[in-house]
């Protein structure tokens, strides 16, 4: 991967002796890209524009943005991605964890073969609490979509 201010490029071998060549560009963030994670066919990028973008390889060697995760109140500084089996028998799904300078950690479900409309916001840490504080409090630090 080659990163620049608001986009980055994927690289791969050219087939002639292992030289690296640009195989696709990821364009779309309005501000600087601050973090990138790659798991399988999914590429995730977090940005100062307060969004996470999801990218998948299209036909040929290009990449397409298949989703934009919005909801952070500050720049997205860290990402983690895991592949899990879905509980409904539909196969595997990605769990995307995003951390922002707003103090929130958000968790998103993304179906392995799904597109942006299937992205589901799961939970968000409401307050930045130390683990021992979470264990001692009766207040639930997690918030589901549509609740306050």
Spans of all domains in the chain:
33-142
Q: What's the confidence (pLDDT) of residue 133?
A: 42
How much of the chain is helix, strand and coil, in % rounded to 5? 5, 55, 40
**Pair 63, 24: CB distance under 8 Å:** yes
**Pair 11, 22: CB distance under 8 Å:** yes
| Statement: residue 47 has pLDDT above 90 | yes
Distance (Å, rounded) from C-alpha 87 to C-alpha 70?
25
Fold of the domain spanning 33-142: Methylamine Dehydrogenase; Chain H (2.130.10)
Average pLDDT across the chain, whole number: 71
Task: Quickly state the pLDDT bin for 16 (edges 50, 70, 90).
Answer: low
Percent of the chain residues past pLDDT 90, beyond the cut: 22
Contact partners, residue 139, CB within 8 Å, separation at least 6: none
Q: Which of 70-74, 106-110, 138-142 has the lowest mean pLDDT?
A: 138-142
Q: How far is CA 146 from CA 23, 51, 93, 101, 123, in A?
A: 40, 19, 22, 22, 10
Q: Give SS3 for 62.
A: coil
Q: What's the confidence (pLDDT) of residue 147?
A: 38
């Amino acid at each position: 991967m080659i990163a620049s201010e608001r986009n980055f490029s994927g690289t791969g071998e050219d087939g002639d002796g292992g030289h690296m060549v640009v195989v696709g560009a990821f364009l779309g963030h309005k501000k600087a890209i601050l973090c990138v994670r790659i798991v399988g066919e999914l590429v995730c990028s977090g940005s100062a524009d307060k969004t996470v973008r999801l990218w998948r390889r299209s036909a040929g060697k290009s990449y397409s943005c298949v989703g934009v995760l919005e909801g952070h109140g500050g720049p997205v500084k860290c990402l983690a991605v895991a592949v899990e089996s879905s509980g409904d028998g539909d196969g595997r799904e990605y769990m995307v964890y995003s951390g922002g300078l707003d103090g929130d950690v958000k968790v998103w479900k993304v179906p392995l073969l799904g597109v942006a409309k299937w992205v589901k916001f799961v939970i968000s840490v409401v307050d930045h609490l130390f683990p021992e504080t979470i264990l001692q409090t009766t207040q639930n630090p997690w918030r589901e979509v549509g609740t306050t």
